Amino acid sequence: MTTSTSLNSTNFIEKPLKIAVAGTGYVGLVTGVCMAHTGHNVTCVDVDENKINMMRDGISPIYEQDLEHLMALNKDRLIYTMDYESAYRDADVIFIGVGTPEKTDGSANLSYVFNVAKQIAASVNKECVVVVKSTVPIGTNDKVENYINQELVNDVNVHVASNPEFLAQGSAIRDTLHTSRIVLGVESEYAKEVLLEAYNGFSNVPILITNRRSAEMIKYASNDFLALKISYINEIANLCEIVGADIESVTKGMGYDERIGNKFLNAGIGYGGSCFPKDTKALHWLANFHDYELKTIKAAIEVNEQQKFKLIKKARKYYENMDGLTVAVLGLTFKPGTDDLREAPSLVNVPMLIEDGARVKAWDPVGVSNFKKLMEQNKVSGIDYFETIEETLSEADICFIFTEWPEIKALEKEKFIQNMKCPIILDGRNCYKKEAMTGTTYESIGRSVTY
């Protein structure tokens, strides 16, 4: 695992706080480790004993660049425990970083957040700030504060604040230590001063002080805008294929306009992960709850769902059905740099290929173990996993690319020609320049076919 040199450019605070973090997923563990890296004493709490034991051994339960390095570097300031009472009892700040998964109706499941709130109310015996780091619907912080105050065992003041995260999986450490902004949604001067002290070690970062509901909305509005941008450019890419335009030229031309910018304009087979799918549905649900429809967000969700099947539709041009074919699948995770499979296009495409009678050969540098578990849970069989791309491509009738891993992008076209029975490549992430793929049948997103 590589280590970024920029990790050393953080201020080291002189007056450490005692910080507890509930949850050791992407948000919780990264927050705790980064807070320790700036000098605070941090206790990370989780209900999973296996995860706690792994972290005590210096092993991160999630795949994230630089995380294990910082865990080792700051081990004297980090404690991992299941004992929430001792962690919360005399903490200055308690971050809630547990999951808020999507319910069947699209709303956010807040049960984990309120379970932690219940534990906090039963444990704290000094004035403290409880920080909701998890992405939660607008108004949740108010409810958490009311709930804690109703359930408090000891007569102490508890201040609840909203402090949304803006990290991306695969670059979470850098995104936290060198974030574009820190948003503090507070309703008391005490919470404001304590959190400014907590973030004192984060150098040269703009800090926005606002109320809690605005902070909650900033998170949703930011994520949903990026999701909307992705769905928009995917629709433009689909139209480019129809009218003969080239999406890369189009996005390059758009990107010169600084009002638009060039980020999140990469056409592909849709967004996935733990944030965009969940957060777009949650905000859409919240608006509907208040008898209001966010038409743009609704459209972004619909476009993204359809985009996931773009390669399957393209494959129908070459094979009427997949029965008896060998299909190579390169990339299983929703993006490179992570082992996260949440909402990954592979999760819906691979079972469909299997159902159509294909033999699927799959490769991913870090996501195979998680993918196997999910397929087993869903009773999907008939998938062979390989350690090299060449083995995966061997004797394949067609290749699907779902994730733009560097190893895939570095692959020369000769590998496809030499190893595949028929070098038909359907690239859902536009990994290659079209002109570099002559001699194969190469289809990507928003660009003409190369032969």
> pLDDT confidence of 204, banded at 50, 70, 90?
confident
Q: How far apart are CA 304 and CA 320, in angstroms?
A: 25
Q: Which among 110, 93, 52 has a CA at the least distance from the CA of 190?
A: 93
Q: How far apart are CA 199 and CA 177, in angstroms?
A: 10
Q: Which CATH architecture has domain 310-443?
A: 3-Layer(aba) Sandwich (3.40)
Q: Which among 158, 165, 157 has a CA at the least distance from the CA of 117?
A: 158
Question: DSSP letters of 319-385?
Answer: -S--TT-EEEEE--SSSTT----TT-HHHHHHHHHHHTTPEEEEE-SS-HHHHHHHHHHTT---EEE
Q: Which among 194, 200, 417, 429 has a CA at the least distance from the CA of 308?
A: 429
Q: Do 446 and 247 contact (CB within 8 A), yes or no?
A: yes
Query: Which has the higher per-residue pLDDT, 41 or 274?
Result: 41
> pLDDT confidence of 7, banded at 50, 70, 90?
low
Residue 364 bridge partners (DSSP): none
User: Coil, strand, or helix at residue 426?
Assistant: strand
Q: Do 443 and 426 contact (CB within 8 A), yes or no?
A: yes
Residue 5 confidence (pLDDT): 37
The helix (H) or strand (E) run that includes residue 208 is strand 207-210
Same CATH fold assignment for domains 221-307 and 310-443:
no
User: Coil, strand, or helix at residue 266?
Assistant: coil
Residue 131 bridge partners (DSSP): 95, 161
Rounded mean pLDDT, 14-22: 93
In sequence order, what are the residues at sequence separation of 6 or more whose Cβ sits closer than 8 angstroms to the Cβ of residue 193? Answer: none
Rounded mean pLDDT, 185-201: 97
Q: How far apart are CA 52 and CA 24, in angstroms?
A: 9
Residue 1 confidence (pLDDT): 37
Q: Which of 44, 128, 240, 275 is catalytic?
A: 275
Distance of alpha carbon 19 from the chain centroid:
24
Rounded mean pLDDT, 67-90: 98
Query: Which has the higher per-residue pLDDT, 15 or 397?
Result: 397
CATH number of 5-210: 3.40.50.720
Distance of alpha carbon 179 from the chain centroid:
16
Question: DSSP letters of 22-79?
Answer: E--SHHHHHHHHHHHHTT-EEEEE-S-HHHHHHHHTT--SS--TTHHHHHHHTGGGEE
> pLDDT confidence of 252, banded at 50, 70, 90?
very high
pLDDT digits (tens, 9 = 90+) for 332-389: 999 999 999 999 999 999 999 999 999 999 999 999 999 999 999 999 999 999 999 9
> pLDDT confidence of 274, banded at 50, 70, 90?
confident
Q: How far apart are CA 290 and CA 100, in angstroms?
A: 20
- Per-residue pLDDT for 292 more than 70? yes
**Domain residue ranges of the chain, discontinuous segments joined by +:** 5-210, 221-307, 310-443
> pLDDT confidence of 3, banded at 50, 70, 90?
very low
pLDDT digits (tens, 9 = 90+) for 102-114: 999 999 999 999 9
| Segment among 11-20, 33-42, 241-250, 382-391 with least mean pLDDT | 11-20
Rounded mean pLDDT, 390-406: 98
Rounded mean pLDDT, 4-19: 68
Residue 203 confidence (pLDDT): 79
Asked about 275 being catalytic, the answer comes back as yes
Q: Which fold has domain 221-307?
A: N-(1-d-carboxylethyl)-l-norvaline Dehydrogenase; domain 2 (1.10.1040)
Using a pLDDT cut of 90, give the percent of the chain over it. 94
Residue 436 confidence (pLDDT): 96
Q: Which among 106, 112, 149, 154 has a CA at the least distance from the CA of 133?
A: 112
> pLDDT confidence of 21, banded at 50, 70, 90?
very high
Residue 159 confidence (pLDDT): 98
Residue 9 confidence (pLDDT): 44
- Per-residue pLDDT for 206 more than 80? yes
